[in-house]
């Protein structure tokens, strides 16, 4: 079996251009490095360096094997770093779910800092449909969830409200509601409403803000946009999703005759007592909770 020191001597000699330079880097005498590489060549059955010149030069076989040696050394470092992290109580994997319709932009700085603070921790970010992230938390699939507020949370769930996102009513430019300067409940009830379906957490109720007599339930907010663009109905959707198609003219924002203030939807950060967070998960949760509310509001305004 090839030992790590032999591979390190091989890689450093190739990168630094001499056995003496590799020896200085490793804190050894040149003869020890030369002997180590000679023994490595015996074990491999091929010459790694051409020694006919003043400084050793990689042979064709050495050039082929060099990337493999680097890969083994990298894997060894990652193995040790991961083992040390586990010994310190740092988990190897963190899963964050960010519900569709919630922007990741406010989290950009935190994600960058997370990568620097916990380089050995694998981060998974999922973007489930509304309500699904809560169910994933209940099942232990994800560690932390960023989602629209629920009517209620089961026992064992912990949550903190972060801010409110703006909800806008939309329809296609050629939809009959587009002719209404201010749509009344009577106007809305005459046309199909496409409602965002939120998968309920087990044991909690699911309620909708129904303003029409005919309802289509759709889970994916982006599919709702497509249906509204195609004229199948009108909908209430997060500003973050509707902003671009409204700006481009594909959709228009409706004005309600009965609504004086903006429609708002609470955004919660949720975790569970059943799934214990490690050091990395605790760090991410706490850093998200520290974000000023203004950062969220600027994104969702």
CB atoms within 10 A of CB 184: 11
List C-alpha distances in Å: 22 to 47, 51, 142.
Answer: 18, 15, 46
173 pLDDT more than 60: yes
Work out whether strand 144-148 and strand 263-272 pair parallel, antiparallel, or are unpaired.
antiparallel
Q: Check residue 297 and give its pLDDT.
A: 60
Q: Is the pLDDT of residue 35 over 80?
A: yes
Average pLDDT over residues 121-148: 85
Kindly tell me if the per-residue pLDDT of 274 is higher than 90: no
Average pLDDT over residues 111-123: 92
Q: Give 85 or 164, the one with higher predicted confidence.
A: 164
Instruction: Give the pLDDT confidence score for residue 203 in this predicted structure.
Output: 47
- The whole-angstrom separation of Cα 238 and Cα 101 is 6
Q: Is the pLDDT of residue 205 over 50?
A: no
The single residue listed with the structure tokens 């994104």 is 299
Q: What is the mean pLDDT of residues 2-6?
A: 85
Evaluate whether 265 touches 148 at the Cβ level (below 8 Å): yes
Tell me: the pLDDT tens digits for 89-111? 678 899 999 988 788 888 999 99
Return d(Cα 208, Cα 197) in angstroms, integer: 8
pLDDT 10s digits, 43-72:
889 999 988 888 889 999 999 999 999 888
178 has pLDDT over 60: yes
pLDDT band at 208 (very low <50, low <70, confident <90, very high): low
Query: Of 162, 101, 97, 166, which is closest to residue 295 (Cα–Cα)?
Result: 162
CATH numbers and ranges of domains, the chain: 4-87 (1.10.10.10), 91-301 (3.40.190.290)
The pLDDT of residue 301 is: 45
Secondary structure (DSSP) of 80-121? HHHHHHHHTT--SEEEEEE-TTS-SGGGHHHHHHHHHH-TTS
Structure tokens at 298: 């600027």
Average pLDDT over residues 112-139: 86
Query: Is 201 a residue whose pLDDT tops 70?
Result: no
């Amino acid at each position: 079996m090839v030992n790590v020191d032999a591979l390190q001597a091989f890689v450093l000699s190739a990168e630094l251009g001499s056995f003496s330079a590799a020896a200085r880097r490793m804190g050894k005498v040149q003869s020890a490095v030369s002997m180590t590489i000679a023994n490595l060549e015996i074990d491999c059955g091929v010459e790694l360096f051409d020694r006919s010149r003043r400084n050793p030069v990689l042979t064709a076989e050495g050039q082929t094997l060099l990337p493999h040696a680097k890969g083994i050394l990298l894997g060894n470092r990652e193995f040790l770093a991961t083992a040390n992290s586990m010994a310190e109580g740092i988990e190897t994997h963190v899963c964050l779910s960010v519900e569709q319709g919630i922007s990741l932009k406010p989290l950009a700085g935190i994600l960058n800092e997370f990568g620097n603070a916990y380089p050995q921790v694998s981060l998974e970010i999922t973007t489930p449909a509304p309500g699904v992230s809560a169910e994933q938390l209940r099942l232990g699939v994800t560690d932390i969830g960023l989602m629209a507020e629920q009517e209620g949370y089961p026992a064992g769930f912990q949550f903190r409200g972060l801010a409110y996102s703006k909800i806008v009513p939309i329809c296609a430019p050629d939809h009959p509601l587009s002719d209404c300067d201010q749509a009344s409940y009577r106007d809305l009830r005459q046309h199909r409403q496409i409602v965002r379906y939120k998968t309920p957490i087990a044991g909690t109720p699911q309620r909708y803000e129904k303003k029409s007599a005919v309802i289509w339930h759709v889970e994916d907010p982006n599919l709702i946009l497509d249906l509204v663009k195609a004229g199948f109905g009108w909908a209430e959707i997060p500003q973050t999703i509707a902003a671009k198609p409204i700006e481009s003219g594909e959709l228009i924002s409706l004005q309600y005759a009965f609504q004086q203030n903006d429609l708002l939807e609470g955004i919660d950060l949720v975790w569970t007592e059943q799934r214990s967070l490690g050091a990395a998960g605790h760090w991410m949760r706490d850093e998200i909770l520290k974000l000023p509310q203004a950062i969220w509001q600027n994104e969702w305004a």
